[in-house]
Structure 1
Amino acid sequence: MKKVLTIVAAAFVVMAFTLKDNDYKNPNLPVDERVRLLLKQMTLEEKIAQFYTPSAEMELGDGKSFTVGWA
């Protein structure tokens, strides 16, 4: 029984760390918190690569659009 409880406890610890890595996808968190969590996970190379990503125009549901990236 003790061995089973140890395995279950270890599984919960692993799950807790795994869920933390994807918190930036949680729509219930404020945007600034989600951005902070995502930037915390990104490597320096990934952050630098964002500067070289070409722009893309995104359509919004109300017929408006906005440009992301190089403008």
Structure 2
Amino acid sequence: MHVTGDREVCVGAGQCVFAAPDVFDQDEDEGLVLVLQEYPGEARRETVEEAADTCPSGAVRIG
């Protein structure tokens, strides 16, 4: 599983961080998504999918 966060689309809602704080963070300047683990592994799939599903802008994607 490959995770991406599109900073051009991100609105800084932080839902990804709430769902999977070990995979996502927000930068201090603009509050935009930062992907901490591009390949978090299958054990994290459920929380990463929750992060993608709850992202209001669709910035979080799973490949």
TM-score (norm 1): 0.24
TM-score (norm 2): 0.26
Q: Which of 1 and 2 has greater Rg? A: 1
Relative to total residues, which structure has the larger strand share, 1 or 2? 2
